[in-house]
Amino acid sequence: MTQTPIRTLHLPVAAQPTVDSLVDIARAGEEHGYKRAWLPETWGRDAVTVLTQIAAGTEEIGIGPSIANVYSRSPALLGQTAATLQEVSDGRMRLGIGPSGPAVIEGWHGVDFDRPLRRTREYIDIVRAVTSGETLYYDGDIFSLAGFRLRCDPPEEQIPIDAAGMGPKSVELAGRFADGWHAIVFTPEGMEERLEDLRRGVELGDRDRDDVRVTLSLTACALEDGDRARKLARQHLAFYVGAMGTYYRESLARQGYEQEANDIAAAWSSGNHDEALELISDELLDDLGAAGTPERTRAELEKFESIDGVDSLAIGFPRGATTDEIRQTIEVLAPEA
């Protein structure tokens, strides 16, 4: 089934000067042939408002949150939200959902991080029911809901729902129940291993593998100053491993980098950020992204494009990259380049 993956954008996770700057980045992606603008929702601007602005400021590029967590919005509200974004974007919406982790859900939202896989499964079911326009009757292990129905016309076409996941069971769940799997922080070998879990989920769900899209979000930075690009990528990786809970560290451990991940996290948590950066070898950096001069970055990207089963590469950017550096990377890695 191998063909060259389409290229999409994973808009900057770091705060940008204004909402308009995010719209401008999405517009640049559209001009250069990227097929979708994914927007991460972290602790800055909410994804829904920004995606609405992006939909209004663009004409063709798809939109989608990556990832809307399944705790801070009720499943019925998320269904309403998806239907509304589908309307304002004229059918360009793709919904990415996932559980996030305890540090975010309990620490930021004050909700128990309980049964994340089951909750994700029920959200998929409920959002599909809401966006179908039928009256909602749902009796699950977590949610028992009855009587809800959209007061507006439902979307003409069903909104695809991608489930994010890094562990074997979460990826299996995506293959069994979702319309796609959204992956992040994976080596080529790690992706190939998890794709086996996806295929198992597809078989358990008696589904067609071609109906489940795989999107890999990848940090990239392509600058004429290759050293600057690689430093930015190192800073980004060190922050995620050291400051964003345990999920990324555990995922790296499964992919053969347990000692490195633990050492990076220990250095970062001790305030030794420079040491954390030094602990990221060139091998690890290249295994998880593409950064350097334009020529090197394009070459590094090829090993991710060649993974059998990846349908879309979402080009993301280091947290510390400037707007100009983001634009340079978009242009260098454009599908039409």
Architecture per CATH, domain 6-227+290-332, reads as: Alpha-Beta Barrel (3.20)
* DSSP type of residue 17: S
pLDDT at 200: 98
DSSP secondary structure string for all residues of 21-48: HHHHHHHHHHHTT--EEEE--SSSS-HH
Query: Whole-model pTM above 0.85?
Result: yes
Confidence of residue 203 (pLDDT cuts 50, 70, 90): very high
| Averaged pLDDT for residues 113-134 | 97
Tokens of 86: 């589908």
Percent of the chain scoring above 90 in pLDDT: 93
Please say if the pLDDT value at position 337 is more than 90.
no
- Report which listed range, 103-112, 173-182, 241-250, is most confident: 173-182
Q: Any idea which of 147-156, 159-168, 243-252 has the lowest mean pLDDT? A: 243-252
Please say if the pLDDT value at position 1 is more than 80.
no
pLDDT at 49: 98
- C-beta of residue 15 within 8 angstroms of C-beta of residue 315: no
Confidence of residue 168 (pLDDT cuts 50, 70, 90): very high
pLDDT at 171: 98
Distance CA 310, CA 216 (A): 7
pLDDT at 76: 98
- C-beta of residue 12 within 8 angstroms of C-beta of residue 321: yes
Please say if the pLDDT value at position 316 is more than 90.
yes
Where do the structural domains in the chain lie, given as residue ranges?
6-227+290-332
- C-beta of residue 92 within 8 angstroms of C-beta of residue 62: yes
Q: How far is CA 218 from CA 14, 101, 148, 256, 305, in A?
A: 15, 20, 38, 18, 11
Percent of the chain scoring above 70 in pLDDT: 99
Note the pLDDT tens digit of each residue in 130-149.
999 999 999 999 999 999 99
